[in-house]
């Protein structure tokens, strides 16, 4: 159990995945665009810099989109099991 906690700390800690706000924000934008597919109410300005442009971390954005697709597959399977 201790080694698993160390693994999580190294992976998601200050030097690991999602170590900056930009990375997590890009991932969240990617997931949100897939799970909620309608057009955003306002477009993001091209010079947007909250903590820098989150889409600069494009690989996290694309990973978020992939997780969003997997989330839809899981939701569809759960609905199928519950309703049928």
- Predicted pLDDT at 5: 79
For residue 24, name the pLDDT band (cuts at 50, 70, 90): confident
- Return the structure tokens found at 23: 């990375």
pLDDT recorded at residue 80: 92
pLDDT(15) > 80:
no
Q: Tell me the average pLDDT of the chain.
A: 79
Quote the pLDDT of residue 20: 74
Residue 83 pLDDT exceeds 80: yes
- Rounded to the nearest 5 percent, the helix, strand and coil shares of the chain are 65, 0, 35
Tokens matching residue 62: 């694309």
């Amino acid at each position: 159990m201790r080694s698993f906690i160390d693994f999580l700390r190294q992976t998601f800690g200050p030097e690991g995945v999602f170590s900056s706000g930009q990375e997590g924000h890009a991932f969240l934008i990617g997931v949100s665009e897939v799970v909620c597919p309608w057009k955003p109410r306002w477009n993001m300005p091209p010079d947007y810099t909250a903590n820098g442009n989150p889409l600069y971390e494009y690989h996290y954005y694309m990973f978020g989109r992939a997780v969003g697709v997997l989330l839809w597959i899981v939701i569809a399977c759960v609905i199928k099991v519950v309703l049928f």
